Amino acid sequence: MKTYFRLLSFAKPIGKYAVPYIICTVITVVFGTLNLALLAPLLQVLFKGTGDVNATETVTKPEGYNMGDWFMYLADRLYYDIGPYEALKYVCIVIVASVFISNLFRYLSQRVMENLRIHTLLNLRKAVFNNVMDLHLGYFTNSRKGDVMSKIASDVQVVQFSVTSTLQVAFKEPLQLIAYVVVLFALSTKLTLFSLAVIPVSAFLISLIVKKLREQAREGQQSYANMISYLDEALSGVKIIKAFNAIPFVKDRFNGESERYSRILRRMVRRQQLSSPVSELLGVVMVAIILLYGGNLVLAGEGELAASEFITYIAIFSQVMRPAKALTESFSSIHNGIAAGERVLELIDERNKITDKPDAKPVNSFNHGIAFKNVDFAYDEKQVLKDITIEIPKGKMVALVGPSGGGKSTLIDLIPRFMDVTGGAILMDGKDIRDLQQDSLRTLIGTVNQETVLFNDTIFNNIAFAQPNATMEEVERAARIANAHDFILNTEHGYETNIGDRGAKLSGGQRQRICIARAVLRNPPIMLLDEATSALDTESEKLVQDSLYKLMENRTTVVIAHRLSTIQNADNIVVIENGQVVEQGNHQDLIAKEGLYKRLIDMQQFID
């Protein structure tokens, strides 16, 4: 129930929807039940036939509040006052009016319910997505992207139906059951008491069927998430898959998970669908038992039950199983929804966030430099950086070098607070960056990574990604600095050309130059370059390298580079191995030390 009430909170303000839903549902139930109850006077008129209606007939007004007696009285009064045909006409008009009202308000209640579903879905999906986007990069390193996508897209959809179905479980169906039982008691107390003794047996048998649905639902949702992950990996890496002849492996992995998901679905559907025929069979058995018992009361002729009342009673009792069946199916839906809700709440509860302190200050200028003071960083229990101390003066260039996996990229990611240090501090102009507002901090920083990240949009919109108000002149100027302008003009629609999913219509070098142009447009005082030219061919690299040198002039730059020419020009070279600074200094000093840097040079780790 704790999970359910947390999910229900996303339907707030629920009163906006619950009040009109309750009003419409009450009217629907009252008139829907009346539709069946009106069978009694209709049958009473028909059973009397067209005999001598002019004969003197005493119609006794009933005492008490027995509904059946009152319906019989009103039908007899109509029969003798206006004649059988006119009485029949009046009863039919009342039935049509009652059906119209019940269906009108049933439609309105469904409209309200659908609005609640959409409202809940919107709130829940917003909460999940917003929380995911606030998580630090370490979370995504340890998570399957397909699993996250499945929770946001599929599980949220299941949850919203579960939450809104609850209103029917908690209100509409029980109210409908109560209405039917009240009418049944009004028609025959004795027969209804007998009938109610049979219903718990049916409810117990159906509850056994849906008992394991929640466990199966969670298992199915996890399997679906695995399928989405495999699909995402297959589509993203289709070139490598084909190059390594790994198509059979990828097919087997995806199809195997698909078969597992199908088996789970079959088990779930088998249980869900079994409840319907079982409930229907039990309903028929109960009606047959009541026919025997109630029919005996009618045949006995003791005045307990008239034939027209008994037929009406059977018609209403046969409908009792409909809300009972709906309740069963709703409970099944709730089991699925709570299982999905638990997975969704895992994302909402994930707290690996980089949040601003309540007293965080905006930073609008950069006057001095950046300093790493005894910085440590760990992913969970895995230590990545240990006791890093580096000074990066304003306007200077610092190069990070060292073996792969040493922590260079992690070190760069700490500056814009993609993650926060777990020990020590990073200072900007002497202030701990954790005391600064993230957004204002990041406006001072431009980033170009080894991996090109582009969107399925136009070239213009990709360059102006962080500057939505940028003019064409500003975008073109940035593209010229990145040596991208000429190739852009040669595309089909120039700056309005769509580059496809992840920039698939462009070459690797073109994609990287678009990313560099995006950073140039921001014109930040701090540049972070993580192997920014690694994806470029020799000709493109020469074009971009000169532009990067111009871009880095009078800017504070931290660069991870593989070109010796770039490293040689750095004001300070920091050599990192196993998360620690093992050497730092300029190129000539480090060569003279004959340490790790010299060994890397001798091993041709850097391109000349």
Interatomic CA distance for residues 474 and 520, integer angstroms: 10
CB 441 within 8 A of CB 416: yes
Name the residue with tokens 């029919």: 295
* Residue 266 scores a pLDDT above 60: yes
pLDDT: which is higher, 459 or 160 = 459
* Residue 562 scores a pLDDT above 70: yes
Residue 205: which pLDDT band, with cuts at 50, 70 and 90?
A: low
Tell me which H or E stretch contains 409: helix 408-414
Q: What is the mean pLDDT of residues 479-499?
A: 89
* Residue 513 scores a pLDDT above 90: no
* Residue 98 scores a pLDDT above 80: yes
CB 90 within 8 A of CB 83: no
* Residue 387 scores a pLDDT above 90: yes
Interatomic CA distance for residues 127 and 104, integer angstroms: 35
| Per-residue confidence (pLDDT) for residue 415, from 0 to 100 | 93
| Domains of the chain, each with CATH number or no CATH | 2-349 (1.20.1560.10), 369-602 (3.40.50.300)
Q: How far is CA 509 from CA 455, 456, 460, 533, in A?
A: 16, 17, 17, 8
Interatomic CA distance for residues 509 and 511, integer angstroms: 5
* Residue 557 scores a pLDDT above 70: yes
- List the structure tokens of 426: 């990073």
Task: For residue 204, give the amino acid letter.
Answer: F
Query: Of the segments 136-145, 183-192, 521-530, which one has the largest average pLDDT value?
Result: 521-530
CB 552 within 8 A of CB 492: no
Interatomic CA distance for residues 134 and 153, integer angstroms: 18
Q: At what angle do helices 39-48 and 307-349 cross, to 10 degrees?
A: 160
Nearest-Å Rg of the Cα atoms of the chain is 37
Q: What is the mean pLDDT of residues 403-419?
A: 89
| Per-residue confidence (pLDDT) for residue 7, from 0 to 100 | 77
Q: Is residue 248 packed enough to be buried (19+ CB in 10 Å), middle (13-18) or exposed (0-12)?
A: exposed
Q: What would the DSSP string read from start to end of 268-309?
A: HHHHHHHHHHHHHHHHHHHHHHHHHHHHHHHHHTSSS--HHH
Q: Is residue 529 packed enough to be buried (19+ CB in 10 Å), middle (13-18) or exposed (0-12)?
A: buried
Q: What is the mean pLDDT of residues 13-27?
A: 86
CB 131 within 8 A of CB 347: yes
Q: What would the DSSP string read from start to end of 533-555?
A: TTT--HHHHHHHHHHHHHHHTTS
Q: Is residue 227 packed enough to be buried (19+ CB in 10 Å), middle (13-18) or exposed (0-12)?
A: buried
Spell 178-202 as b/e; 16+ CB within 10 A means b. ebbbebbbbbbeebbeebeeebeeb
Residue 42 makes CB contacts below 8 A (sequence gap 6+) with 75, 88, 91, 92, 95
Mean pLDDT computed over every residue of the chain: 79
Query: If we measure between CA atoms, which residue out of 129, 115, 165, 153 comes closest to residue 8?
Result: 165
Q: How far is CA 259 from CA 47, 88, 482, 533, 560, in A?
A: 60, 60, 49, 44, 45
What are phi and psi for residue 450, nearest 5 degrees? -65, -40
Q: At what angle do helices 156-167 and 84-134 cross, to 10 degrees?
A: 140
CB 546 within 8 A of CB 352: no
| Per-residue confidence (pLDDT) for residue 388, from 0 to 100 | 94
Q: How far is CA 437 from CA 417, 420, 558, in A?
A: 10, 13, 21
Query: If we measure between CA atoms, which residue out of 132, 134, 156 comes closest to residue 144?
Result: 132
Q: At what angle do helices 307-349 and 84-134 cross, to 10 degrees?
A: 10
CB 106 within 8 A of CB 78: no
Q: What is the mean pLDDT of residues 420-433?
A: 92
Residue 189: which pLDDT band, with cuts at 50, 70 and 90?
A: confident
Residue 41: which pLDDT band, with cuts at 50, 70 and 90?
A: low
Start-to-end Cα distance in the chain:
65
Q: Is residue 515 packed enough to be buried (19+ CB in 10 Å), middle (13-18) or exposed (0-12)?
A: buried
Name the residue with tokens 């992950």: 229
Query: If we measure between CA atoms, which residue out of 118, 119, 112 comes closest to residue 21?
Result: 112
Summarize pLDDT for 282-311 with one digit per residue, the tens.
Answer: 767 777 877 787 777 777 765 566 777 777
| Per-residue confidence (pLDDT) for residue 56, from 0 to 100 | 47
Q: 107: helix, coil or strand?
A: helix
* Residue 158 scores a pLDDT above 90: no
Residue 328 CA to its chain's centroid (Å): 26
* Residue 582 scores a pLDDT above 90: yes
- List the structure tokens of 579: 């998360």
| Per-residue confidence (pLDDT) for residue 60, from 0 to 100 | 63
CB 596 within 8 A of CB 584: no
Q: What is the mean pLDDT of residues 331-339?
A: 68
| Per-residue confidence (pLDDT) for residue 501, from 0 to 100 | 79
* Residue 327 scores a pLDDT above 70: no
